[in-house]
């Protein structure tokens, strides 16, 4: 795993330096992790959801390939990929809501990494709006949720991506979960 991480980081730096052939070597290495990330993002979706993990990976990859980003390492890459997947899912939910004339918003099960208390289903659009409000108040707390829930990164990787200690990450996560719980339960009431 460490060798794979080093290879990804090396290839991302080569890509940032203009080596276009690096992408041919990068894709096979990151594809499985991106697929796991996409599956995790789609785990709580309703049955019959039209967007599949493979399509989500391909959409996210197209966005990443077209982005002009100075890649630092694999953690940054997966963090950016998770954000791209979140936006794709939200756009997909918005399109479906428009098509269904005001209803049928996507439901996403928030696992214990995000919600306090028992498992809850929440509207993906409501979650996205709550995360945007959280980002306006405290960007780092929003990033913690994004990296752990949408990105599927570990606590250690998320802390490294944010350049904070794991203890700080846990404090930020606890506060973010409480804030989101309050926001989302107010919406449901």
Which string of DSSP letters, residue by residue, matches 87-98?
HHHHHHHHHHHH
Q: What is the pLDDT of residue 86?
A: 82
Whole-structure pTM value:
0.67
Per residue in 54-95, pLDDT (tens digit) is 888 888 888 887 778 888 888 888 888 888 888 888 888 777
How distant, in Å, are the alpha carbons of 83, 105, 106, 114, 132 from that of 120? 22, 15, 13, 10, 20
């Amino acid at each position: 795993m460490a060798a794979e991480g080093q290879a990804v980081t090396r290839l991302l730096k080569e890509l940032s330096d203009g080596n276009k052939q690096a992408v041919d070597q990068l894709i096979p290495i990151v594809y499985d992790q991106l697929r796991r990330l996409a599956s995790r993002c789609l785990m709580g979706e309703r049955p019959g959801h039209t967007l599949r993990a493979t399509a989500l990976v391909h959409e996210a990859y197209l966005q990443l390939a077209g982005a002009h980003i100075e890649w630092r390492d694999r953690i940054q890459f997966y963090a950016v990929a998770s954000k791209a997947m979140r936006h794709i899912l939200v756009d997909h939910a918005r399109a479906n809501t428009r098509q269904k004339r005001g209803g049928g918003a996507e439901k996403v099960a928030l696992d214990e990494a995000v919600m306090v208390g028992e498992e809850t289903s929440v509207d993906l659009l409501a979650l996205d709006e709550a995360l945007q409000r959280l980002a306006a108040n405290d960007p780092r707390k929003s990033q913690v949720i994004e990296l752990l829930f949408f990105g599927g990164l570990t606590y250690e990787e998320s802390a490294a991506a944010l350049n904070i200690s794991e203890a700080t990450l846990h404090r930020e996560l606890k506060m973010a979960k409480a804030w989101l719980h309050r926001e989302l339960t107010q919406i449901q009431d």
